[in-house]
Structures are given as structure tokens and as C-alpha cells.
């Protein structure tokens, strides 16, 4: 198995400390705090470990409360709110240094048949032949501040191939829409519970940046402060995280130093597997402008 994928799967091998209490490891990925997608994915997995496997998660709603310390593990405290005939509800607090850094509620349902419809997948080129993000990062790295370069080039367990390549460091305004293919770079053996936790992890990559596009903002500008505020997901159909998935995101609104983003994730055969929503902080220092 690819070394970076092995490390990723180790992060999703939670240690059970006690009934309803789990511990996950953190990782440094070039950010000043724990990657929000990692906390969301681990928290969802902790909740799922207390639910019968015939009830897959169908939705989660979460808030990022404090920056996480990537030098310390994270404890996940699961509250078994309800076990009903059809639905199960769990609440999870992610704790570091005695304080919650993240709070998640998740709902699970016995699988049922019912009426069905979905939004059509956009007509875009498939991932084959598109440039991967590693090649793009190699071209851009010298334009980044030196303190970000090593993390920017490190091997990653998830491969991304944008449908429309963009200069991630450019400050020119662009439409607030992104379409990108992604997958875990090596084959993994994981059940539905872990697959959905890994999708929660992947869903946080780049989503908040969609709202920044019309304003010429990016994550490396020193006058830009950004952070995820909340995150919601709805799981619709099964998938494999090591097979290509299309992530289309768009931002209908930004204001009040916040940007709102919606996403849809499709299998390569056009099946909609998940919907995502996130609001993030997009704060400019008062004396600066996006292009300053």
C-alpha cells in the first residue's frame, strides 16, 4: 500500500478507550491547526462505531469550535441520544486540552426502498488525461512563501484532478464554481462506515476556497484569515473512495466575513453519492485588500 494511504488509514483506526469514548491521532499538514476534514471524519467514525452496521449514516451536521492542536491526539466522546425503530442519532464532542474543539450530530437509518430522483451530474471530461494536482503544485511552489513549500509538496493520499485547471495562487477574480475529480490513490479495504468517514474527510478539501474565488483571495495571502465554521453532509448512495468521484462546488453568497458553499459528489457513472454544505470565515485584515 502507498505510504501516504497507509498513514491515512492509520488515522482512521480509532482507539477505543471506554464505552462511547475513542481516541484518534492528529497530523501536521502545513496548517497551523488540525485539518477540519480529519476531525469531521474521525468524529463520524467514532459515532458510527456505536451504531449497528445495518444503519448507515445518512446525514451529519457539525460546528468547528476551536483550532485543533496537531501535536496532540483527539478524544471523541459519543452521546447515544436515540436508538429508534428506523433512525439512530448520535452526538459527538471532539476534545483536546479538556475543551471541545468540534461538535457533530449524525443520523443513521435502516435501509429502506422509496421514491427516488437526483440532480444530473454535469457534463465534464472524465479524469483520464486531466492533469493531477501534484504536477500543478510543482509548478506553483516557488511562488509560495518559503514556510509553506515543504508541506505543499509532500506526498498526499488523495489525488485531485481539476476539470478546469486554475492558478491556486492567482489573485484575479473568478466565478465561484469548481469541478474536480478525486480519489484515494491506492486500493483500500474498508466497510461502508469507514468509506463514509473518509468521504467526510475528503469533502473539506478546497470547499471553502470556492467562495473566495470571486474576490481574488487564497489561503496563502498573509492578510487573509480563513477557517471552517460549520459543515453538513447528506449521504445518498454507496461508493468507493479509491475510485474516481466528481466534486462540484459552488458559492451562492459571501458577506459578513463569511462565505457559503454547496457541493455535490458523483460517482463516475453519474450517481449522486453525497451533498455538502459549509460556511467558512473569510476575514480580511482591515488595512488590506484581496489583491494588496
On whether residue 170 sits in a domain, the answer given is yes
Residue 181 lies in a domain: yes
Profile the chain (292 residues) by mean pLDDT over runs of 10 residues.
Answer: 93 97 88 90 98 96 96 97 97 98 98 96 95 76 67 81 80 91 96 98 94 85 87 98 98 96 98 98 71 40
Q: What is the DSSP letter of 52?
A: -
Backbone angles phi, psi at 234, to 5 degrees: -125, 125
Residue 40 to residue 150: CA distance in whole angstroms = 25
Number of folded domains in the chain? 1
Instruction: Please report how the helices 36-48 and 192-203 are oriented relative to each other, as an axis angle in degrees rounded to 10.
Output: 160
Assigned domain for 290 exists: no
Please give the Cα distance from 210 to 173 (Å, whole number): 11
Give the pLDDT confidence score for residue 149 in this predicted structure.
65
Q: Looking at the DSSP assignment, which residues form a beta bridge with residue 110? A: none
Is residue 120 situated within a structural domain?
no
Residue 192 belongs to domain with CATH number? 2.40.160.210
Residue 45 forms part of a structural domain: yes
In a domain, 117, yes or no: no
Active site residues: 204, 228, 278
> Model's pTM, two decimal places?
0.92
8 A C-beta contact, residue 213 and residue 173: yes
Torsion region of 216: left, alpha or beta (phi above 0 gives left; psi -120 to 50 gives alpha): left
Measured between alpha carbons, how far apart are the two ends of the chain, in Å? 44
Q: Tell me the residue range of the domain where 48 lies.
A: 3-110+131-284
Whole-angstrom distance, CA of residue 264 vs CA of residue 162: 15
The pLDDT, as a whole number, for residue 290 is 46
Tallying the residues shown for the chain, one arrives at: 292
Give me the sheet containing 177-184, strands edge to edge: 15-18, 21-24, 74-83, 87-96, 99-109, 57-64, 224-235, 272-284, 258-267, 245-255, 177-184, 158-162
Amino acid at each position: 500500500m502507498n505510504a501516504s494511504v497507509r498513514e491515512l488509514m492509520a488515522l482512521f483506526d480509532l482507539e477505543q478507550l471506554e464505552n462511547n469514548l475513542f481516541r484518534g491521532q492528529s497530523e501536521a499538514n502545513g496548517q497551523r491547526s488540525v485539518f477540519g476534514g480529519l476531525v469531521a471524519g474521525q468524529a463520524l467514525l467514532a459515532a458510527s462505531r456505536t451504531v449497528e452496521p445495518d444503519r448507515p449514516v445518512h446525514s451529519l451536521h457539525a460546528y468547528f469550535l476551536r483550532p485543533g492542536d496537531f501535536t496532540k491526539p483527539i478524544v471523541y466522546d459519543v452521546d447515544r441520544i436515540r436508538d429508534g425503530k428506523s433512525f439512530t442519532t448520535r452526538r459527538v464532542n471532539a476534545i483536546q486540552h479538556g475543551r471541545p474543539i468540534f461538535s457533530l450530530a449524525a443520523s443513521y437509518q435502516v435501509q429502506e426502498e422509496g421514491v427516488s430522483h437526483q440532480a444530473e451530474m454535469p457534463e465534464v471530461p472524465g479524469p483520464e488525461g486531466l492533469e493531477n494536482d501534484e504536477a500543478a503544485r510543482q509548478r506553483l511552489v516557488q511562488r509560495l512563501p518559503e514556510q509553506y513549500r515543504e508541506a505543499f509538496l509532500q506526498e498526499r493520499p488523495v489525488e485531485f484532478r481539476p476539470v478546469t485547471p486554475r492558478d491556486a495562487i492567482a489573485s484575479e477574480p473568478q466565478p465561484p464554481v469548481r469541478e474536480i475529480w478525486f480519489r484515494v490513490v491506492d486500493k483500500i479495504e474498508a466497510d461502508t462506515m469507514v468509506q463514509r468517514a473518509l468521504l467526510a474527510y475528503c469533502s473539506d478539501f478546497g470547499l471553502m476556497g470556492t467562495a473566495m474565488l470571486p474576490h481574488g483571495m487564497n489561503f496563502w495571502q498573509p492578510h487573509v484569515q480563513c477557517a471552517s465554521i460549520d459543515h453538513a453532509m447528506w449521504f445518498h448512495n454507496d461508493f468507493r473512495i479509491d475510485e474516481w468521484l466528481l466534486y462540484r462546488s459552488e458559492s451562492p453568497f459571501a458577506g459578513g466575513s463569511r462565505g457559503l458553499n454547496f457541493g455535490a459528489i458523483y460517482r463516475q457513472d453519474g450517481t449522486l453519492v453525497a451533498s455538502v454544505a459549509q460556511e467558512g470565515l473569510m476575514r480580511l485584515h482591515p488595512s488590506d485588500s484581496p489583491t494588496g
